[in-house]
Amino acid sequence: MLDDRLPRRDLLRLAGFSTLSVGLAACGRVAPAVQPAASALPAHPSAEGTSASADEALARLREGNQRFVADKESNPNSSPARRASIAASQEPFATILGCVDSRVPPELIFDCGLGDLFVIRTAGHTLDHAVTGSIEFGAVELKIPAILVLGHERCGAVKATIEVLEGRAEALSNIFVLVEAIAPAVEAASTRPGDLLDNAVEINVTRTMATLSQAPLLAPLIKEGKLKIAGAVYDLDTGVVRFLEG
């Protein structure tokens, strides 16, 4: 879905995000006029911010999901003190690229709070320039060490793509863009044994991971060991996030 013919991406890359950083200052790490008192900071692991490594960030996501599944959520970083401490800047420890499905809210299923996650959601976690640029901004400007591409069981966008490809439905208006993006995953899944939808959901995750790993601003960070991209699939029935190997 990414069109390399557009020069604007290269211009941003050459500028080192300096212009973008000014425009997105409110979303980035701007030095506050008054630092919050240390006592106002909650004593919770997710307050560590971007100093955490990618493996530590992914481990915290796993642990948060385990609490969610066990109905033992700690509901971290939701206090007025936390809200005040991050009002002037943010240091999320992981980026989540997930689906828009209302049943898969990342902050809840990973038991996280305000300022913990940098969340981007599109139907079927499809990519375009705005989405990829947002993820690159998080990695470059906010120094987020981990990106998790999160698919989910019975994804409606993937299911709709299957129905269109099988001639049982029609993709109207901009929905066709989603179908076009997800179609390669469905086509790849059609050659595998097992459930077509389940296989397509997983392949759609791995394809998104592969595309992101080649993004101009992400690829060097991955090579330098400063960034890791992982994939997972959420089970709507159990609440379990199954992390994919590799």
Q: How confident is the model at residue 245 (pLDDT cuts 50, 70, 90)?
A: confident
Task: Give the orientation angle of helix 196-213 with respect to helix 175-189, to 10 degrees.
Answer: 110
DSSP string for 120-182: EE-GGG---HHHHHHHHHHHHTS---EEEEEEETT-HHHHHHHHHHTTS----TTHHHHHHHH
Please determine, for residue 32, whether its predicted confidence score (pLDDT) is greater than 70. Answer: no
User: Mean pLDDT of all residues in the chain?
Assistant: 85
Strand partners, 96: 119, 148
Residue indicated by tokens 């969610």: 68
CA distance 100 to 48: 28
Using one digit for the tens of pLDDT, what is the confidence trace for 121-134?
Answer: 999 999 999 999 99
Using one digit for the tens of pLDDT, what is the confidence trace for 34-70?
Answer: 333 332 323 334 434 444 599 999 999 999 999 999 9
The predicted model scores a pTM of 0.82
Share of the chain above pLDDT 90, in %: 78
Share of the chain above pLDDT 70, in %: 78
CA distance 118 to 135: 9
Using one digit for the tens of pLDDT, what is the confidence trace for 78-97?
Answer: 999 999 999 999 999 999 99
Domains in the chain: ranges and CATH? 19-27+49-243 (3.40.1050.10)
CA distance 125 to 206: 11
Which of residues 124 and 8 earns the better pLDDT score? 124
